[in-house]
Amino acid sequence: MTQEQWSAVDHYITNLLVPSDPALDGALKLSDEAGLPPHNVSPNQGKLLLLLAQIHGAKTILEIGTLGGYSTIWLARSLPVDGHLITLEANPKHAEVADTNISHAGLSDRVEIRVGLAVETLQQLATERRTFDLIFIDADKPSNPDYFTWALKLSRHGTLIIADNVVRNGAVIDAASEDPSVQGVRRFNELLANEPRVSATAIQTVGSKGYDGFALALVTSISAL
């Protein structure tokens, strides 16, 4: 198996099941023109996020890591008309691009972008006593343990927590890795394994974004959250 084949299969799946969409295609184009890094989820991964949110019946969603708003659009489209999504972005330029993309998608009434370091904006959400039905973690990986800790504080019984990029091209098994992202993901995975208030698993993936994976955690107990 090669990256070329993984990408070809993703292209095949996307052509069949994830038709071209002007708002989503435009979000990718504007993000690229603005010089944002190409770290957005793939189209079929975005569709997976939408389906998971719909299956879960999420009305309130928190996204940690906005980038250009591509995954934000997918998640926001899953919401009912009275639903609400808060997305956190540290980089003001990224947030500006995301705001434009979300507006073009007609979702500004359902999406709120909060700009600033996530550890600070998460604390503010906790102060506001916010809780969410679904939380998507896709920001700087060294901070994943902190993001998971905050996600639990912002959860209720039944909250679904999704974390992207938890396999790191297989490097996650290297305990001696000097890569801060790998160590952040390893610590995150260890927290998942030892957290009695969640039921969790992780899945390896291959595709146009390479070899990686995502974690799913369902909050099964609100004790001491």
| Predicted pLDDT of residue 65 | 98
Q: What's the pLDDT tens digit per position in 126-143? A: 999 999 999 999 999 999
Read off the DSSP letter of residue 56: H
**CA–CA dist 7, 210 (Å, integer):** 8
Reference 71, options 103, 48, 96; nearest CA is: 48
Q: Is residue 54 part of a domain?
A: yes
Residue 224 has pLDDT above 60, yes or no: no
Q: What's the pLDDT tens digit per position in 97-124? A: 999 999 999 999 999 999 999 999 999 9
Distance of CA 183 to the CA centre of its chain: 19
Q: Is residue 225 part of a domain?
A: no
Distance of CA 184 to the CA centre of its chain: 16
Beta bridge partners of 211: 206
CATH of residue 157? 3.40.50.150
In this prediction the pTM is 0.96
Q: Is residue 164 part of a domain?
A: yes
Range of the structural domain that residue 114 is part of? 3-199+206-219
Q: Can you say whether the dihedral through the CA atoms of 96, 155, 56, 142 is positive or negative?
A: positive
Q: Is residue 53 part of a domain?
A: yes
Q: What is the mean pLDDT of residues 36-60?
A: 97
Q: Is residue 224 part of a domain?
A: no
Domain count, the chain: 1
**CA–CA dist 65, 130 (Å, integer):** 18
Q: Yes or no: say if 44 and 17 are a contact pair by the CB < 8 Å rule.
A: yes
Q: Is residue 190 part of a domain?
A: yes
**CA–CA dist 77, 47 (Å, integer):** 10
Q: Can you say whether the dihedral through the CA atoms of 121, 122, 127, 129 is positive or negative?
A: positive
Radius of gyration of the chain (CA): 17
| Predicted pLDDT of residue 64 | 98
Please report the DSSP string for 43-55 in residue order: HHHHHHHHHHHHH
